[in-house]
Amino acid sequence: MLDPVTLDQLRMMVAVVDEGSFSAAARKLQRVQSAVSTAMANLEDQLGVPIWDRSSRIATLTPQGEAVLAAARRVLAEVDGLRRLTAGMVIGLEPSVSLCLDSLFPQAALVDLCRAFVRQFPAVDLRIDVQTLSAVSARVLDGTATLGVVGPPGIAPGLERRSLAPIRLVAVVAARHPLAAHRGRISAAQLAEHVQIVLSERLDGDGNSGVPDQAVLSPRTWRVADLHTKRALVRAGLGWGNLPEHLARGDLARKRLVAIQPEAWNEGGQVVYLSAVYRSDATFGPAHRWVLEQLSTLCLRDASAPPRRRAS
């Protein structure tokens, strides 16, 4: 049985409320006032509740009408979303984009990407996942993510890649840590006396850890699974470690962290080159192609600040 309530009736109801009267709604909709009045009377009969209080010269909503209005707005918003979605499909616009990012990716760049994506593709769902190293490639290979962003150690064989931007890593300690007072380059023997906080991949169910730990210089290590925990432990003075320069930038400026220079590393710190990765059989529509371009621009923007150097 077909529902007698129509979208036209709901749109007329919303127009009456937004414009303030039946006559103003009729002018906006380019209909005669009698058509709007008849539609509202029919809507009341079909729903079985009084929507309009006609006791005064200008009809107002009843309490039941207020509830119907809220529901009508939700229905119309869903219908408009459906039309945008199908209109996008006609031109090849995909319904969703699934993105998996390495934790090294600048968070500010991610927020700006999402903000711009909503404006550019309001009908396309965006799914974000943040992982570490090989877990990013794993999400892309199994189809959980259509696009990934990861550094060279985490790129799995068989994935296509597109270079994005370099991420500078700087070795840091808390301002009260013993290494903070050291001037010049620090030898491996000196670093070995202190705990190094290392970002390590989570063990899977079979005990496999994926990519080996990177840039380990001290035999004394604490291993963590995410960068924000690593940063918190370093800031607490519990050890030293390397952080993305964009993540450490604020703490360095406020002198909560101090940059140090391990003898084994270059003076400007280490550099990891992030790449976008995707399966060779992937077919990208306009939204995926737009995301690829934005990833490169925004990542480069947030990772391009000059390195902070300590005086010798």
> pLDDT tens, 202-223?
545 444 456 666 678 888 899 8
% of the chain at pLDDT higher than 90 = 30
* Domains parsed from the chain with CATH numbers: 7-90 (1.10.10.10), 96-165+273-303 (3.40.190.10), 168-271 (3.40.190.290)
Strands 96-102 and 147-150: parallel
Measure the CA–CA gap between 179 and 61, rounded to whole angstroms. 71
Paired residues of 3 in beta bridges:
none
Question: How high is the pLDDT of residue 154?
Answer: 85
Q: What is the chain's alpha carbon radius of gyration, rounded to the nearest angstrom?
A: 29
Cβ atoms of 61 and 17 closer than 8 Å: yes
Count Cβ neighbours within 10 Å for each residue of 22-34 and write b for 16 or more, e otherwise. bebbbeebeeeee
Question: How high is the pLDDT of residue 259?
Answer: 92
Paired residues of 179 in beta bridges:
none
- pTM here is 0.62
Residue 243 pLDDT exceeds 90: yes
Question: How high is the pLDDT of residue 207?
Answer: 43
